[in-house]
Amino acid sequence: MSGRDESVTSKEGLRTTKAGRSIMKSAFLKSRGYRMFNKYRDETKKQFSDFEARFAESLLYEIKTDPAPNDTQRAFADEIGTNNLMLPTTQMNGVRDRLLDLNTLRDRVGRILDSNFVKMTFPVFNALFDAANPNESVELKQNIVEGHILAIDLSEPMDRIVDRDEDLEYLDDYRLMNPYILKLARDKIAQGGETIMEVFEEGFKDARTGQYMDESLKTQPSSITEEQMNFSYKKYRAVMGTAGKNMALNNMSLGEIFYSGMAHASEAAGCGNEIEDSMRNGYVKVPSWPLYYTILSNDVSLGFSATMQKSRLYLEQARLTLDILPEGFSHIDFLKFLFMTVEHYNEYWYNRVSKADIWEKFQNNLPVNKS
Looking at the predicted structure, is the pLDDT value of residue 5 above 80?
Answer: no
Q: What's the average model confidence in pLDDT over 86-112?
A: 97
Q: What's the average model confidence in pLDDT over 89-109?
A: 97
Q: For residue 26, which of 14, 43, 16 has the smallest C-alpha distance?
A: 14
Q: For residue 79, which of 216, 232, 209 has the smallest C-alpha distance?
A: 209
The CATH number, out of the four listed (1.10.600.10, 3.40.50.10300, 3.40.50.2300, 3.50.50.60), of the domain defined by the range 6-364: 1.10.600.10
Q: What's the average model confidence in pLDDT over 237-263?
A: 96
Give me Rg for the CA atoms of the chain: 21
Give the integer Cα–Cα distance in Å for 217 and 286: 7
CB-CB neighbours of 142 under 10 Å: 17
pLDDT for the residue 16: 97
Looking at the predicted structure, is the pLDDT value of residue 370 above 80?
Answer: no
pLDDT for the residue 71: 98
pLDDT for the residue 4: 54
Give the integer Cα–Cα distance in Å for 21 and 35: 16
Contact 215, 82 (CB under 8 A): yes
pLDDT for the residue 89: 96
| Residue 23 banded pLDDT, cuts 50, 70, 90 | very high
pLDDT for the residue 41: 95
Distances (CA, A) of 243 to 112, 151, 220, 277, 364: 19, 9, 31, 24, 40
Q: What's the average model confidence in pLDDT over 341-346?
A: 97
Domain limits, the chain: 6-364
Q: What are phi and psi of 114, to 5 degrees?
A: -80, 70
Which ranges of the chain would DSSP assign to H, the alpha helix?
Answer: 11-15, 18-29, 32-65, 69-80, 92-99, 102-113, 116-132, 138-163, 171-189, 194-218, 226-232, 234-236, 242-247, 252-281, 289-297, 300-320, 332-356, 359-364
pLDDT for the residue 271: 97
Contact 62, 109 (CB under 8 A): no
Looking at the predicted structure, is the pLDDT value of residue 3 above 50?
Answer: no
Looking at the predicted structure, is the pLDDT value of residue 20 above 80?
Answer: yes
Average pLDDT of the chain, as a whole number: 94
pLDDT tens figures, 155-188: 889 888 887 878 899 999 999 999 999 999 999 9
pLDDT tens figures, 191-248: 999 999 999 999 999 998 888 898 889 888 989 999 999 999 998 899 999 999 999 9
Contact 73, 176 (CB under 8 A): yes
pLDDT for the residue 315: 98
Looking at the predicted structure, is the pLDDT value of residue 17 above 60?
Answer: yes
SS (H, E, C) 60-129: HHHHHHCCCHHHHHHHHHHHHCCHHHCCCHHHHHHHHHHHCCHHHHHHHHHHHHCEHHHHHHHHHHHHHH
CA 339 to chain centre: 15
What percent of the chain shows pLDDT beyond 70? Answer: 98
Q: What's the average model confidence in pLDDT over 330-341?
A: 98
Q: What's the average model confidence in pLDDT over 118-131?
A: 95
| Residue 62 banded pLDDT, cuts 50, 70, 90 | very high
pLDDT for the residue 371: 42
pLDDT for the residue 369: 52
